[in-house]
Chain A
Amino acid sequence: MKRSVPLLITAVGGFALIVAYFIPYTEALGETVAVWFDILAAIAFILGGGNLLKQHLKKISDRGPGWGYSGVVIGSFLITLFIGLSKVGVPPLAEFPDFAWSGDFIGIGTPFWFIYQYAFVPLTATMFAMLAFYIASAAFRAFRAKNLEAILLLGTAFIILLGRTFAGVALTNWIDPTGPFAGLRIENLTVYIMSVFNTVGNRAIMIGIALGIVAVSLKVLLGVDRSYLGKE
Chain B
Amino acid sequence: MRRWITASACLVWTTAAAAQVPGGPTGLEAVDYPWDNGTRIQLTWSLSPDDDTLLGYAVRRRLADDPQQTLIDILPPGTSAYTVPDLDPELAYLFAVTAIAQDNTESAPASTLAPVTPSVQAFDGTRLWFMVTLVLFSGAVVVFIRMARTGRDLKVRKIAGLEAVTEAVGRATEMGRSCLYVPGIQDMNDIQTIASMNVLSHVARTAAEYDAKLEVPTSKSLVMTAARETVETAFLSAGRPDAYNPDLIYYVTDEQFGFVAYAQGMMVREKPAACFYLGSFFAESLILAEMGNSIGAIQVAGTAQPAQLPFFVAACDYTLIGEEFFAASAYLSGEPDQMGSLKGQDVGKLIVAVGILAGVGGMTLAAVTGSDLIQSMVDYFTQRMLT
Does A213 interact with chain B (Cβ within 8 Å)? yes
Does B250 interact with chain A (Cβ within 8 Å)? yes
Please judge, given known A-B contacts A142-B315, A214-B137, whether A27 and B37 are in contact too, CB under 8 Å. Answer: yes
Interface string of A124-148 (1 = CB under 8 A from B): 1101101100110111011100000
21 contacts between A and B (CB under 8 A): A44-B225, A48-B254, A52-B250, A52-B252, A66-B269, A124-B255, A128-B257, A134-B286, A138-B315, A208-B321, A212-B322, A213-B304, A215-B345, A218-B141, A218-B145, A219-B338, A225-B338, A227-B197, A227-B198, A228-B194, A228-B201
Does A171 interact with chain B (Cβ within 8 Å)? no
The reply to whether B258 and A212 contact each other, CB–CB distance below 8 Å, is no
Complex: chain A residue closest to B260, CB-CB: A127
Does A47 interact with chain B (Cβ within 8 Å)? yes
The reply to whether A137 and B321 contact each other, CB–CB distance below 8 Å, is no
Does B283 interact with chain A (Cβ within 8 Å)? yes
Does B299 interact with chain A (Cβ within 8 Å)? no
Please judge, given known A-B contacts A212-B323, A215-B141, whether A52 and B251 are in contact too, CB under 8 Å. Answer: yes
The reply to whether B325 and A231 contact each other, CB–CB distance below 8 Å, is no
Within 8 A of A (CB), among B183-240: 187, 189, 191, 194-195, 197-198, 200-201, 220-222, 224-226, 229-230, 232-234, 236
Does A5 interact with chain B (Cβ within 8 Å)? no
Chain B residues within 8 Å of A25, by CB: 120, 122
- Give the docked Cα–Cα distance between A131 and B38 (Å): 50
Does A118 interact with chain B (Cβ within 8 Å)? no
Within 8 A of A (CB), among B253-311: 253-258, 260-261, 269, 283, 286-287, 289-290, 293, 304, 306, 309, 311
Q: Interface on A for B, CB 8 Å cutoff?
A: 18, 21-25, 27, 34, 37, 40-41, 44-49, 51-52, 55, 58, 66, 120, 123-125, 127-128, 130-131, 134-135, 137-139, 141-143, 153, 202, 205-209, 211-220, 222, 224-225, 227-231
- Number of residues in B with C-beta < 8 Å to the partner? 80
The reply to whether B341 and A224 contact each other, CB–CB distance below 8 Å, is yes
Complex: chain B residue closest to A33, CB-CB: B189
Q: Which of B123, B287, B327, B330 contacts A22 (CB 8 A)?
A: B123
Chain A residues within 8 Å of B257, by CB: 123-125, 127-128
Chain B residues within 8 Å of A45, by CB: 221, 254
Please judge, given known A-B contacts A227-B201, A227-B234, A228-B230, whether A131 and B251 are in contact too, CB under 8 Å. Answer: no
Complex: chain A residue closest to B37, CB-CB: A24
- Give the docked Cα–Cα distance between A209 and B40 (Å): 33
Q: Interface on B for A, CB 8 Å cutoff?
A: 36-38, 120-124, 127, 131, 134, 137-138, 141-142, 145, 187, 189, 191, 194-195, 197-198, 200-201, 220-222, 224-226, 229-230, 232-234, 236, 247, 250-258, 260-261, 269, 283, 286-287, 289-290, 293, 304, 306, 309, 311, 313-315, 321-323, 325-327, 329-330, 337-338, 341-342, 344-345, 348-349, 352
Q: Which of B194, B220, B251, B254 contacts A220 (CB 8 A)?
A: B194
Chain A residues within 8 Å of B309, by CB: 205
- Give the docked Cα–Cα distance between A231 and B232 (Å): 8
Q: Which of A34, A131, A217, A224 contacts B286 (CB 8 A)?
A: A131
- Give the docked Cα–Cα distance between A21 and B123 (Å): 9
Given contacts A47-B224, A51-B224, A227-B201, 10 further A-B pairs with CB under 8 A are A41-B222, A47-B222, A48-B221, A51-B251, A52-B252, A125-B257, A216-B198, A219-B145, A222-B145, A228-B197
Chain B residues within 8 Å of A153, by CB: 313-314
Please judge, given known A-B contacts A25-B120, A41-B222, whether A215 and B314 are in contact too, CB under 8 Å. Answer: no
The reply to whether B221 and A47 contact each other, CB–CB distance below 8 Å, is yes
Chain B residues within 8 Å of A49, by CB: 221, 251
The reply to whether A51 and B250 contact each other, CB–CB distance below 8 Å, is yes
Chain A residues within 8 Å of B201, by CB: 227-228
Chain B residues within 8 Å of A217, by CB: 191
The reply to whether A227 and B230 contact each other, CB–CB distance below 8 Å, is yes
Please judge, given known A-B contacts A131-B287, A214-B141, A231-B233, whether A51 and B326 are in contact too, CB under 8 Å. Answer: no
The reply to whether B220 and A48 contact each other, CB–CB distance below 8 Å, is yes
- Give the docked Cα–Cα distance between A143 and B304 (Å): 23
Q: Which 4 A-B pairs have the closest CB atoms?
A: A212-B326, A48-B221, A208-B323, A24-B37
Chain A residues within 8 Å of B222, by CB: 40-41, 44, 47
